[in-house]
Structure 1
Amino acid sequence: MGEEVAGRLRLLLSLSLIGVVFTSVVILVGVWTRLVDAGLGCPDWPGCYGRLVVPDAERAMAHSPDAPLEVFKAWVEMIHRYVASALGLLVIALLVLGARLRRRPGYPWGVSVALLAVILVQGAFGAFTVTLKLWPQVVTLHLLGGLAVLLLFLWLHLRLRRFTAGDDGRAPRRRLTPLWGLAMLLLLLQLALGGWVSSNYAGIACQGFPTCNGQWWPAMDWSEGFHLTQTVGPNYLHGQLHADARVAIQQGHRLGALALGLGLLALAIRHWQEARLRPWLGALMAVYGVQFGLGVANVLLWLPLWLALLHTAGAVALVLLLALALWQWRESAVDVKTGTTRVDKEWVHG
């Protein structure tokens, strides 16, 4: 490997890792934007009242007389757009830098292209969030899209590390098992439920824990709470659902947390004997416990801003840890002749 290629790979490794950290920040800024009700701080997209920076009240009134300017909320929304745009530029830089290496065996060119495609879709969801006035379906998909970008950055970084080490990716790796698939599905479902809780303003629909409004099974309207084909309303700021529908959403999120915990516990028990996986599975269970506690605290303390942001950070950590655990599991050595897995001695005795 020539010096130029080695230097390019070092830069790609650094940028992809920066992308993981920066995407986490962008996700948290997006959640902060939502929690301070700034999602419609600018009534148009991509500018703000037709400008690339927040204008004064007079210009804002001339542009959108039916949407009075709230300076703080407008700036929060624009900060979110600025950092999201910077993330898009980072994706483009990774694609350009990797273009010369795309034909080399093992280079993750497909992951780079997928990352660009997802970031473009995310931009579209950002526009729809504003033009469809915080429609819950779009807001939830926008959150999931941000997490997909995060995962792709992480996967790109891991694949680049493998490529830099001289692995062309042709060595046999473990295939996904039903238990890993179930754990990932449960996490995806719980993330979607969390986004649905937030986008429908159901975070404090239940008072108290483990009961809800003093009852183990309160009155709930599941059909309305999870009606995914309703028409786009005029404005979803602060939500439009009645109390029983929001309670159903909150209870669904609680049940999802329980199912996820059982799924992760089953995964940890199944693979705990593998020394290479044990630290990752232990960290995964620990973060799940903290995340569960943060969810309970959010309910009991009536959703303070800092605690809600920590809860989102916990979700990001769960996504990253499950992905890293999966990577470690797939990268465990496989005996080509027998097809059985071998745990590397350096991990067992190191």
Structure 2
Amino acid sequence: MPHSTERRLQWLKRLTLAGTVLTALVILVGAWTRLVDAGLGCPDWPGCYGRLLVPDNEYAALRHPDVPLEPFKAWVEMAHRYVASFLGLIVLSVVALGWSLRKRPGFPGKVSIALLIVILLQGAFGAFTVTLKLWPQVVTLHLLGGLSVLMLFFWLHLRIRLSLTSRTSFPINHISTSTSDASSPKTINVLWVIGVSALVLQLALGGWVTSNYAGIACQGFPTCNTQWWPEMDISEGFHLTQTVGPNYLHGQLHADARTAIHMMHRFGALLLGIVLLALWWRYRTAASVGRALMLVLIAYFVQVALGIANVLLWLPLWLALLHTAGAVALTLSMEWAFWCWKRQPSQQSIEVNDLKAAQVTFTHCSK
């Protein structure tokens, strides 16, 4: 490998790892912003009362006399925007560094372009979150977009790290160009489709819970408001064409609708647990995949415990933030498990010339 190419890949490896960590931080800062009711701390976008820094009360009153300035909430909202903007610069750096390598066999150029597109959409969702006054549909999509950025950054990091490992661990002429991932392509099976779909559904339900302020709509666990099947208004709780215009801070739905959202989130957690257990049972004897799925199960059970604690303790700020961190950990662990399964070489697909490449892939996933 030419020295300049290797150096670029090394920088991309560092940047994508930094991007993964920073994305997780942005998600947590976003959750903090929402939990302290600072989502509308600045009534405009991208500035705050028309400034890049939070202005004083006098200037804010002239700019938006209908929205009194609350300095703490405004600074929280702007802190979220500053960190997110820095994340955007990292994405641009990744795309720029990888542009000259985009046609190189095995380089994940399409993933980096997808990352750029998603981060631009995230910026748009960030603007709509403010201008549409926390419309639940946009808030939920903004959360899912943040998790998508996280997954793309992590996947890009894994691909680049594997590219470096496979090219520096042994001479390049030992690897056929058709096996840059060091394993034969695998067709996605039904169990993985169900597992990923169940996780996405549960993440979306979690976003819908928080955007509609339904976290403590149910008191008590395992019952809800002392009932196993409480009064619920499912049609109103999942009415996706809510009116655009009202201020959705603290939510607009009535109690039964919020109860329905909360209960569906509980049922989604149960469904996800069953699917994850099935996945683990199916691959428990496959060394690296089984260990990765065990990590997923640990993250899942910790997340369930955090969810229960949030209900019983009435959603304290620190615990709600931990629940968001748990969603991040669950997402990354599931992606890691899928990576390990996707890269697990089968004996039938390993050719003599690709044996060392397959060994590198297995070692890479087992670390």
Q: Which interval holds the TM-score relative to the shorter structure?
A: over 0.9
CA deviation map 1:252-282 (0-9, x unaligned): 0000000000010000000001111122111
Aligned residues: 347
Note if 1:270 corresponds to 2:282: yes
Show structure 1 runs of 5+ residues with no match.
none
Q: Does residue 20 of the first structure (1) align with residue 20 of the second (2)?
A: yes
Matched, 1:53 2:65: no
* Match in the other structure for 2:228: 216
In the TM superposition, what is the alpha-carbon distance from 1:344 to its structure 2 partner?
Answer: 6.5
Asked whether 1:230 is paired with 2:242, we answer yes
Alignment partner, residue 186 of structure 2: 174
Tell me whether 1:313 sits opposite 2:322 in the alignment.
no
Instruction: Tell me the secondary structure at the aligned position of residue 186 of structure 2.
Output: coil
2:367 is the counterpart of 1:326: no
* Aligned equivalent of 2:202, options 190, 193, 201: 190
Return the structure number with greater relative CO, CA threshold 8 A, min gap 6. Answer: 2
Q: Tell me the distance in 1 between the aligned counterparts of 2:349 and 2:251.
A: 58
TM-score by length of 1: 0.96
| 2:131 aligned partner | 131
Once the two structures are superposed, residues 297-344 of structure 1 have per-residue CA deviations (whole angstroms, 9 ceiling, x without a partner) of: 0000000000000000000001000000000001011345699xx996
1:111 equivalent in structure 2:
111
| 8 A contact 2:183–2:344 mirrored in 1 | no
Does the aligned pair in 2 maintain the 1:140–1:196 contact within 8 Å? yes
* Counterpart secondary structure, 2:287: coil
Match of 1:289 in 2: 301
Tell me if the contact between 2:107 and 2:163 (Cα under 8 Å) persists in the aligned partners: yes
CA contact (8 A) 1:174 1:334 kept: no
- After the TM superposition, list the runs of 4 or more consecutive aligned residues in structure 1 that deviate by more than 4 angstroms: 335-339, 342-347
CA contact (8 A) 1:38 1:73 kept: yes
CA separation of 1:171 and 1:266: change in aligned 2, threshold 3 A: closer
- Pick one of 212, 216, 220 that aligns with 1:204: 216
CA distance in 2, matches of 1:324, 1:109: 20
The aligned amino acid for 1:191 is: L
Cα-to-partner distance string for 1:91-139 (whole Å, 9 max, x where unaligned)? 0000111111111111111000000000000000000000000000000
CA contact (8 A) 1:173 1:333 kept: no
**1:149 maps to which residue?**
149
8 Å Cα contact 1:174/1:332 also seen in 2: no
Q: Higher mean Cα deviation, 226-235 or 184-193? A: 226-235
Q: Is the 8 A contact 2:41 2:69 kept in 1?
A: yes
d(CA) in 1 for partners of 2:100 and 2:319?
Answer: 45
TM-score under structure 2 length normalisation:
0.91
- Structure 2: 5+ residue runs without aligned partners? 168-178
Identity between Structure 1 and Structure 2 (%):
63
3-state DSSP of counterpart to 2:105: coil
User: What is the deviation of 1:169?
Assistant: 3.8
